[in-house]
Structure 1
């Protein structure tokens, strides 16, 4: 299965975190990332995003239906995502639009094969990590296919 972890684009500062909207720069970032993804995504795909406005705005640039799920909210725990991933069809492409730190934590988890809470990677705004993930007897094996940020797409 292909799994794409896409961090939301730059958002405005706002005291209410879930209501933060994309800035003008964030809109451009999301547009650049989405254009590249649309050109390279297979047809069989599912898009999920958090309940946060900025995550949904980022996902809309793919111009595809998406599912809002609180599992992908900023405060989610990466091990809950691991369980969710195991429940998905192995032939699908999953696109998860979300937040730091869980995206960086989940990248580290996928490649380390174990959960190490102190380890996570920095993921730039509107950057995405594309993994090929396979399961063998409830354990996963992942390899990185693509890592891109909007600054690489201009």
Structure 2
């Protein structure tokens, strides 16, 4: 019996071949994307996960930790240390919510708001680095968003 990728079966589809895995293509593209962001974010003193939190806060300031976690698909165990580091850096403040002291509210500091101006060029720089037209990346983003929603329904 010949092996799936042997010359005898040239052209046969192997469902377990690494190059046939959608998950690996997505994972390795994600790694490449994070590496592309790194030099830009280093200039801001942010890691990629911190940048994502800042994106949420630049869109809407003064939000609950729970809300940030929902938008980024992160649990509080992952988010809390990240927020503490942003607070130590002077970019955000963490305060108990007045209506419900069990909840923590995150607000941008003056430095956190000012950092947005420095970050303005990053999306365009990453777009250029990708070598792809904006329309193609927009369509891919929409497709990945649908895939994420479908996968989330399958395990919830």
> 1 or 2, which has the higher helix percentage?
2
Higher Cα Rg, which structure:
2
Fold agreement, TM-score > 0.5: no
With the length of structure 1 as denominator, give the TM-score of the two structures.
0.27
Tell me: higher relative CO, structure 1 or 2? Use CA pairs within 8 A at least 6 residues apart.
1
> 1 or 2, which has the higher strand percentage?
1
